[in-house]
Amino acid sequence: MSFSKAFRPKIIQGGMGVNISNWHLAKAVSMLGQLGTVSGVAFERIFARILQRGDPGGHLRRALSHFPFPEHVARVLEAFYVEGGIPPNTAFKATPVFSTNPSSLLISLTVCANFALVWLAKEGHSNPVSINYLEKVALPHVYAITGAIFAGVDFVTMGAGIPLQIPEVINAVAEGRVVKYRVPVEGKNITSYEMSFNPERFFGGRPLSVIKPGFIPIIASNLLATILMKRLPEGSIDGFVIEEPTAGGHNAPPRKGGVYGEKDLVDYSKIASLGLPFWIGGSYASPEKLKWTLEIGASGIQVGSIFALCEQSGMDNGLRRRIRKLGFEGKLNIRTDIVFSSTGFPFKIVELEGTLSNRNVYEARERRCDQGVLVTLFEREDGSIGSRCPAEPVEKFVPKGGNEKDAVDRGCLCNALISTAGFGDEKEPPVVTLGDDVSFLPHLMASGDGFYGAEDAVNYLLGTK
Ligand SMILES: Cc1cc2nc3c(=O)[nH]c(=O)nc-3n(C[C@H](O)[C@H](O)[C@H](O)COP(=O)(O)O)c2cc1C
C-alpha cells in the first residue's frame, strides 16, 4: 500500500506501546478515514495475558479462527487460554522471553498475536491500518512483522532507531522468502547476530495471499531522512513521520550539549523537497497546528497523547481519568527523563502518585527482569551471546559485563508499561508517558471529570466540530 490522492490522511494516530494503541483505538480512527495504528511492541505479552483472562468477548479467538495455520493457534491457546479467566489476584503464567534462539511456542505466539491485533483493527471496514514497532526492540521483528503482514496490515511505522533493514524484511515476508534481521551485539569480535525466520518451513506452507504494506519511518532529523533516502532502494519508503522532542514516548537524544536546541530543529522545506508525504508529530494536536503543517507542505500531523487519553485507548481507565483531570486543571507535570529507559533514549514521564515517577514508589520496587523486551545482546568471554538490561538486578547485570553506573535510576519499562495497560503483575507499579502538550483537553471536555472519544478528537483536529 502506498499513499495516493484517494488515501492521504491528515491525521496519523501514533503507535503507542504497550497496548495504548490497541485495536479498538486504531479501528475507530481508521473508520473515520484517518490512519489508525496499533502498537505491536511487546504485544505478544499482552495477548498471552488477555487469553489468560479468558479472552472476554472472544475477540482474539475470532481473529485467530482466520489464521491460516490452525495447528499453531491450537498450541498457543493450549498454552495460554484459560476458559472463564484466571481467578482475581492470581499471577499470570510467564510468557517466554526473546533470545537469539526463541522457542517455537514463542514464535507461534508472536506471529499469532500480531496477526490477531491487525485482523481486529481491520475488522468490519476496508480502510487502511498501520502497525508500529520500535527499531530497538529488534529480536521479535522477523516474527512480529510476519504476523502483521499475514493479516494484511497496510503500513508499518517504525521509530527509535535507524530502520534500514525493515524494507527488506517487508519484501521477504511479502515474497515468501526467509526473513532476516541483524540485531546489534556489544562485543569485541561479534557485532551483530542475524535473526532468521523461514515462515514457509515453520508453518509448512504459505498463506493464500500476502500483500506488501507500505513503510513509514519515524525520524527526528533531516540527516536521518537523507540517510534513509540514499541508502534504501527507491520505493522503499512511502512517507515520513517527523517527531519533535516534545512528543510522548521515547524521543531522539538532543544533538548537542544534553539539551534540545537549534541543532534539533528540522528544516521542513528540505523534508518537503524529498518528494514524499510527511506528517509532523510532537505537540501538534490542534486545528491550528494541523493547518500550519498543511501550509508548509506536510500531509498533516501524527498525534499520540490526544488519543492516549480518549475512551478507546488501552490505558488503564483509572490512570487515564486522573491524568485527564490534572491536565484539564493545568496541574499535570511531564518530564523528559534521560536515564529511565534502558533503550538509552530520553523518555517522557508523567509525574503521578502511585507510579514509578514517584521516587518512593521507584525505590520500593524490587528489581527483576522477566519480560526481557528491552535487553541488549552482548558477547560472552567464550564467544557465545548473552543478553542484559541495565534495569535488571545490579548483581545480575554487572557479572554480565554491564557497567554499574548504567544501572543507576533505570526503570523497568517492560513491566511498568504492561501495568499501565492494565495487564500488570500485582507488584509492578505503572509508569505513564505522554507528550508535553495536553492543551487539547479543555476543547474536548467540559470539566475535569469529562471524557471524550476518538471521533471527538478527530473532529476537533479537523475543525469539523
Ligand atoms: C503513551 C504513548 C506511548 C507511545 N509509544 C510509542 C511507541 O511505542 N512507538 C512510537 O513510535 N511512538 C510512540 N509514542 C509517540 C506517538 O506515536 C506520537 O508520535 C507522539 O505521541 C506525538 O506527540 P503528541 O503526544 O504530542 O501528540 C508514544 C506516545 C505516547 C503518548
Domain ranges for the chain, please list them: 11-314+447-462
Q: Is 302 in the pocket of ligand 1 (CB under 6 A)?
A: yes
Give the per-residue pLDDT at 465. Answer: 66
Selection from 417, 445, 422, 135 nearest residue 306 by Cα: 445
Q: Is the CB of 433 under 6 A from ligand 1?
A: yes
pLDDT for 111: 98
Q: How far is the CA of 438 from the centre of ligand 1 (A)?
A: 13
Write out the three cell numbers for 137.
Answer: 526492540
Residue 247 near ligand 1, beta carbon < 6 Å: yes
Query: How far is the C-alpha of 399 from the C-alpha of 403, rounded, in Å?
Result: 9
pLDDT at 208: 86
The answer to whether 388 and 402 are in contact (CB under 8 A) is yes
Closest atom of ligand 1 relative to the 246 alpha carbon: 26
Taking the C-alpha atoms of residue 225 and residue 218, their distance in angstroms, rounded to an integer, is 9
Closest CA to 273 of 296, 245, 243: 296
CA dist., res. 76 & res. 64, Å (int): 10
Atom of ligand 1 nearest to the CA of 283: 26
* pLDDT value for 314: 98
Which ligand 1 atom sits nearest the alpha carbon of residue 433? 1
CA distance 18 to 423: 10
Would you say 178 and 172 are in contact if contact means Cβ atoms under 8 Å apart?
yes
Cβ(248) to ligand 1 under 6 A? yes
Which of 16, 141, 441 gets mutated to test ligand 1 (max ligand atoms within 8 A of its CB)?
16
- The CATH number assigned to the domain with range 11-314+447-462 reads 3.20.20
CB of 285 closer than 6 angstroms to any ligand 1 atom = yes
Tens-level pLDDT at each residue, the chain (465 residues) = 778 767 899 999 999 999 999 999 999 999 999 999 999 999 999 999 999 999 999 999 999 999 999 999 999 999 999 999 999 889 999 999 999 999 999 999 999 999 999 999 999 999 999 999 999 999 999 999 999 999 999 999 999 788 999 999 999 999 999 999 999 999 999 999 999 999 999 999 999 889 999 999 999 999 999 999 999 999 999 999 999 999 999 998 888 777 778 778 899 999 999 999 999 999 999 999 999 999 999 999 999 999 999 999 999 999 999 999 999 999 999 999 999 999 999 999 999 999 999 999 999 999 999 999 999 999 999 999 999 999 999 999 999 999 999 999 999 999 999 999 999 999 999 999 999 999 999 999 999 999 999 999 999 999 986
Q: Which atom of ligand 1 is nearest to the CA of 159?
A: 11
Expressed in angstroms and rounded, the spacing between residue 435 Cα and the centre of ligand 1 is: 7
Ligand 1 atom closest to residue 134's alpha carbon, by position in its atom list: 9
| Nearest CA-CA partner of 242 in 232, 259, 261, 228 | 228
CA of 4 to the centre of ligand 1 (A): 25
13 CA → ligand 1 middle, Å: 9
Does the Cβ of 17 fall within 6 Å of ligand 1?
yes
Cis amide leading into 178 (omega within 30): no
8 Å CB contact between 281 and 252? no
